Amino acid sequence: MTPRLALRGTALLYLAALLVLPVGLVLFRASEKGLAPVVDSLTTPQGMHAFYLTSIVVAIAVPLNTIFGVATSLLIVRTKLPGRKLIDSVIDLPFAVSPVVIGLSLVLVYGNDGFLGGPLSDAGLKIIFSTPGIILATVFVSLPFVVREVSPVLREIGTEQEEAAGTLGASPWQTFRRITLPAIRPAVGYGVVLTTARALGEYGAVSVVSGKFSGRTETATLFVEDRFQSFDLTGAYAAAIVLALMAVAVLVGMNLLDRNRRLRHGN
Amino acid sequence: MAIEAQGLNKRFGEYQALDDVTFTAPDGQITALLGPSGGGKSTLLRVISGLEEPDSGSVHLLGEDVTHLTPQDRQVGFVFQHYAPFRHMDVRDNVSFGLSVRKRPKPEIKAKVEELLELVQLSGLGERYPDQLSGGQRQRMALARALAVEPKVLLLDEPFGALDARVRKDLRQWLRRLHEEVDVTTLFVTHDQEEAMELAHHVVVLSEGRVEQAGRPTDLYEDPANEFVMGFVGPVTKVGEDLVRPHDLEIHIEPRAGAIAAKVERVLRLGFEVRVELCVDEEEPASVQLSASEAEPLELHPGQMVHLSVARKPALAESSTV
Amino acid sequence: MSALSVPLRRSEARRVRFPGAAPAGALSVAYLSLVVLIPLAAVAATGMEDGVDGFWEAVTKPQALSALKLTLLVSLAVAAINAVAGTLIAWVLVRDDFRGKGFVNALIDLPFALPTIVAGLTLLALYGKGSPVGINVAFTQIGVALALLFVTLPFVVRAVQPVLIELDPEVEEAGASLGAKPLTVFRRIIFPAIRPAMLAGVALAFGRALGEFGSVVLISGNLPNKTEVASVYIFGLIELGDKQAAAAVSVVLLAASLLLLTTIAALSRKGARP
């Protein structure tokens, strides 16, 4: 066997053993007894609520982080605002913190006896053990992606096109809408895809923050765990497969957008 | 006067980019900002356009004080060194951008764009994207785009810097002809003295943020204000204590009053021109430029002793930058 | 071209004028503070709630030390394995060609996209009780390592890939023509070139492994002092309501991750210089 084939074989074997076979097995086990049991376990009120809750959370967290991401990118790259370097380094924190610690940090501040949570709860707004808390946790963990994708692109394209638009009479808003935004659109798209993937799959922080009240604060990922702990393997696998399929859709999106980006930038 | 700059100062941290810069650009003419790289020319252009604000001083365009106006409000056309094309728009949309931003009616825009594309010889390329154009075509598109909004003043930042030599020469002539058709006051930045001399009606020489001299190209060439301008704008040779143009030196076989002895080192025959490299007092190199017909009767050859006299010597002030 | 000799400071000064920058900046800082900064500060504060003694006590409890030690060692081992496996996979993806390579390349991102709990579930199905291949590593440290290998797979691969792509194959050919065997070529020509990227990827993998929770929680069985990682231990403390202890151990974990973050930043700056 040539060294090339040996290397290839080893790599493929590693990937098969670590990734392909485990996921494939669950896919198989889930659909082993046909599609009916799968549909049954997913269409229970608990199951439906779980996926519904996940959708709501993602639908709120992703746009929030996208707007924040684009605005903050512009601030960091295009202005001389003091403290922007500090913001830049803080953005990476969610990557460095364990999800459980993230959950803990949010409970400490927004829990019923929390520093901010106390007064809010007196005013009737419950954050921890309720949907807003889950949204907050999801926002925390998926915060950096859009900023990290858009900033280098903003740096690379430089200010000349925007300056040119200015000399031609465009207002700052017109310049942003017609020149900057089209230029960063692929990067924003890619960032949104990454943010969505992270938001869909969040488990650790949400575990801590939600209280796992089934039918109320149980997201799709928590639902998977719940089914497993209840020895309902079919249910667990079924939900896992749905989430895995969503992940695959995200993967496909990632690869398509990534190829588009590279082509556009003439790589 | 179309452009008047008074006492402009601009500092970037430790670096003084503009040092009390005062100059004027005459109405309807082409003015060149000439100087070595890093000398402040681009900064000056950006201050005039409004893309930078000066620390002190004023800028007047057609009599109006625009010092603190944004670029949007100054109505200047600006062509960037790398053209800053809007890469996601085709040529037509690029050129029409300024007009669409002003919300002109569509048929008016269409007609104007066609007219401009013809003017810059890009008709038929309207649907192409900037990435599909050559460097020269992109530059002409950038020009058309800037001219579309009928600016009071046209500013060009090293317009030919990014092109290769032959394209550069062609475009120079083309720009001069274009200016005859569209006689908008034009100010362009260059470090190429040949370009400035060939294109401009009026030249301002800048070095290290200071104006060294301003005037017509011939005036700068024949009566430079100081050593720096003299050396930058044309060839110089040193004879004794004097700086002289190589073609202002005369070679004589016989000694004569006031002439300096020199030994011929090398004779270069370059078609019409003959360049003679000599050595004065066995140390100082000097060079003389003659026409072939002037050189013939002298029968110059290496090792020959001749005598140099200065036909014309410009009166130089002490240079602020040597 | 004069653009090349424009002093670098100038590009710093070219900013598009931005009305509303200040309020936007304030909003951005507020968003970051409410979501990230204040909560993390609260963790540090709560950890110190009972003074330095309370902090120290929480962190040096036998179960805590066990968890931290296990986390550290397994994460290091996983990072080391990734250094080799990740580089190997990156190599094969860049230098080799075979049917389905594009698919395999896309596959690398699967751990990024897949929820961690699902990852854990799939590993448990194949390598736990009732495994169709007869391998049962549930409730073992190997199981923990396996879960961490899954989630950290992409980091080294994706860090090394672009560097390998940039690397001109001609350089290796030159080495070979001068008599160097493939291993020597790798050691003396390729490895030095990819080392910064590899280290950055390894550091990222290590950081991820330190805090990993969802994929480990099912397969490890969370046996205290045996297969309980730090994140699970902290989770247990939260469930018990001992917020101070949970926060204290969290601070230790946070400190380790932050140290890594700064190392990565320094490494990537070094790697960026030609």
In terms of domains, do C27 and C163 share one?
no
Contact C6 B81 (CB under 8 A): no
pLDDT above 80: residue A177: yes
CA pair distance C258, C253, nearest whole angstrom? 9
Residue C12 belongs to some domain of the structure: no
Which residues on chain B place their C-beta less than 8 Å from a C-beta of chain A? 49-51, 70-72, 75-78, 80, 82, 84-88, 97-98, 101-102, 131, 145-146, 148-149
Note whether C207 and C98 are same-domain residues: yes
Two tokens, residue C191 = 């490895």
Q: What angle separates helix C116-127 from helix A21-31, to the nearest 10 degrees?
A: 90
Determine the structural domain holding residue C185 and report its residue range: 51-272
Which carries the bigger pLDDT value, residue C9 or residue A27?
A: A27
> Alpha-carbon distance B134 to A196, whole Å?
41
Mean pLDDT for all residues in chain B? 88
- DSSP string spanning B245-287? -GGGEEEESS--TTPEEEEEEEEEEETTEEEEEEEETTTEEEE
Q: CATH number of the domain at C132, please.
A: 1.10.3720.10
Residue C10 and residue B37: Cβ atoms within 8 Å?
Answer: no
Q: Count how many domains chain C has.
A: 2
The domains located in chain A, with CATH, are 34-264 (1.10.3720.10)
Ranges of residues in chain C whose predicted pLDDT is under 70: 1-19, 268-274
Q: What is the pLDDT of residue C17?
A: 56
For the segment A78-85, the average pLDDT, to the nearest whole number, is: 83
Q: pLDDT tens for residues B45-100? A: 999 999 989 999 999 999 999 999 888 888 899 999 888 999 889 999 999 999 99
Based on the domain organization, do C23 and C63 belong to the same domain?
no
Per-residue model confidence as pLDDT tens digits over B99-120: 998 888 999 999 999 999 999 9
Cβ contact A100–C234 (<8 Å):
yes
- C2, C16, C17, C18, best to mutate vs chain B, most B CBs in 10 Å: C2
Burial track C208-223 (b if 16+ CB lie within 10 A, e otherwise) = bbbbbbbbbbbbbbbe
Partner B contacted by C15 (CB < 8 A):
no
* Half-sphere exposure at residue A47, Cβ-oriented, CA atoms within 13 angstroms: 20
What is the SS3 assignment for B313? coil
Spatial strand order of the sheet with B260-270 comes to B249-252, B305-310, B260-270, B273-280, B284-291
Between B167 and B185, the more confident residue is B185
User: Which of C48, C67, C89 is at the close of a domain?
Assistant: C48
- List the single residue in B72, B76, B98 with the smallest CB-CB distance to A171: B72
| pLDDT value, residue C237 | 93
Same domain, C29 and C163: no
Residue B23: per-residue pLDDT:
93
Query: Is residue C9 a part of any domain in this protein?
Result: no
Both C208 and C195 in one domain: the answer is yes
CB contact under 8 A, B162 and C2: no
pLDDT at residue A118 is higher than 80: no
Q: Which chain B residue's Cα is nearest to A169?
A: B72
Q: Which helix (H) or strand (E) holds B79?
A: strand B76-79
State how far Cα A155 lies from the chain centre.
24
- Check residue C10 and give its pLDDT: 40
User: How confident is the model at residue C6, as a pLDDT?
Assistant: 39
pLDDT classification of A264: cutoffs 50, 70, 90: low
| Min Cα separation B46/chain A (Å) | 10
- Residue C1 covered by a domain: no
Q: What is the DSSP letter of B226?
A: B
CA distance C6 to chain B (A): 5
pLDDT tens readout for residues C245-272: 999 999 999 998 888 878 777 776 665 5
Q: Percent of chain A beyond pLDDT 90? A: 58
Q: Smallest Cα–Cα separation from B147: which of B113, B122, B123? A: B113
Contact residues, chain B, for A156 at CB < 8 Å: none
Please name the residue of chain A whose CA is at the shortest distance from the CA of residue B78.
A167
Instruction: Report pLDDT digits (tens) over A137-163.
Output: 999 999 999 999 999 999 988 899 999
Angstroms from A255 CA to nearest CA on chain C: 7
Averaged pLDDT for residues B178-189: 90
Q: Is C14 a member of any domain? A: no
Residues of B in contact with A167 (CB under 8 A): 49-51, 71-72, 76-78, 146
Question: For an interface test with C, which of B10, B11, B15 has the most C Cβ atoms less than 10 Å from its Cβ?
Answer: B15
* Pairing state between β B76-79 and B64-65: unpaired
Q: Is C2 within the bounds of a domain?
A: no
Instruction: Say whether both C104 and C23 belong to one domain.
Output: no
Shortest alpha-carbon distance between residue A156 and chain B (Å): 13
Residue of A nearest to C235 (CA): A100
Q: Is residue C105 located within the same domain as residue C218?
A: yes
- Whether the CB-CB separation of C253 and C69 falls below 8 Å is answered with no
Residue B38 forms contact with C (CB below 8 Å): yes
Interchain contact, B78 vs A174, CB within 8 Å: no
Residue where one domain finishes, among candidates C48, C66, C91: C48
pLDDT tens digit sequence for B119-166: 999 999 999 999 999 988 999 999 999 999 999 899 999 988 878 888
Same domain, C137 and C40: no
Residue B265 has a pLDDT of: 87
pLDDT digits (tens, 9 = 90+) for A125-144: 788 888 999 999 999 999 99
Question: B138: which residues sit within 8 A by CB, 6+ positions away?
Answer: B83, B85, B130
Determine, yes or no, domain membership for C246. yes
**Strand order from edge to edge, sheet including B3-12:** B15-25, B3-12, B56-61, B64-65
Contact assignment for C10 to B158 by CB distance below 8 Å: no
Q: Is residue C6 part of a domain?
A: no
pLDDT at C268: 66
CA dihedral sign of residues B87, B91, B93, B98: positive
pTM: 0.81
The predicted pLDDT at position A150 comes to 94
Task: Specify the pLDDT at position A13.
Answer: 95
Q: Give partners of C (≥3 CB pairs < 8 A).
A: A, B
Whole-number Å distance between alpha carbons of A239 and A261? 33
For A211-230, the pLDDT digits (tens) are: 777 778 899 999 999 999 99
pLDDT > 90 fraction of chain B, expressed in percent and rounded: 44
Give the residue from chain B lying closest to C7, CA to CA: B38
Locate B205 and state its tokens: 């020489």
- Residue B155: phi and psi, rounded to 5, are -115, 130
Describe the crossing of helices A35-42 and A45-78 by its angle, rounded to 10 degrees.
70
Contact A101 C231 (CB under 8 A): yes
DSSP assignment letter at B318: P
Pick from B42, B86, B100 the residue to mutate for testing the A interface (most A CBs within 10 Å): B86
Residue B13, C-beta contacts closer than 8 angstroms, at least 6 positions apart: C9
On whether any CB of chain A is under 8 Å from the CB of C85, the answer is yes
Please give the pLDDT value at position C274: 46
Give the percent of chain B with pLDDT over 70: 98
Q: What are the chain C neighbours of A79 within 8 Å (beta carbons)?
A: 15, 18, 21, 25
Alpha-carbon span B142 to B82, nearest angstrom:
9
Indicate if the pLDDT at residue A266 is higher than 50.
Answer: no
ipTM computed for the complex? 0.88
- Residue-level pLDDT at C2: 37
Alpha carbon B91 to its chain centroid, in Å, reads 28
Q: Give residue C18's pLDDT.
A: 66
Q: Name which of B53, B72, B49 is nearest B3 in CA terms.
A: B49
Residue B166: the pLDDT is: 84
Same domain, yes or no: C174 and C227: yes
Q: Give the pLDDT score at C14.
A: 44
Q: Are residues C123 and C184 in the same domain?
A: yes
Report the residue from C5, C13, C17 with minimal CB separation from B37.
C5
What residues of A are in contact with residue B82 (Cβ under 8 Å)?
Answer: 160
Q: In angstroms, rounded to a whole number, what is the distance separating the alpha carbons of residues A124 and A142?
A: 27
- Interior angle at CA B14, CA B9 and CA B16, nearest 5: 25
Nearest beta carbon to residue A170 from set B72, B87, B146: B72
In a domain, C7, yes or no: no
Same domain flag for C30 and C105: no
| Whether residue C156 sits in one domain with residue C44 | no
Cβ atoms of C224 and C63 within 8 Å: the answer is: yes
Residue contact B97–A165, C-beta within 8 A: yes
Between chain A and chain B, how many beta carbons pairs sit less than 8 Å apart? 60
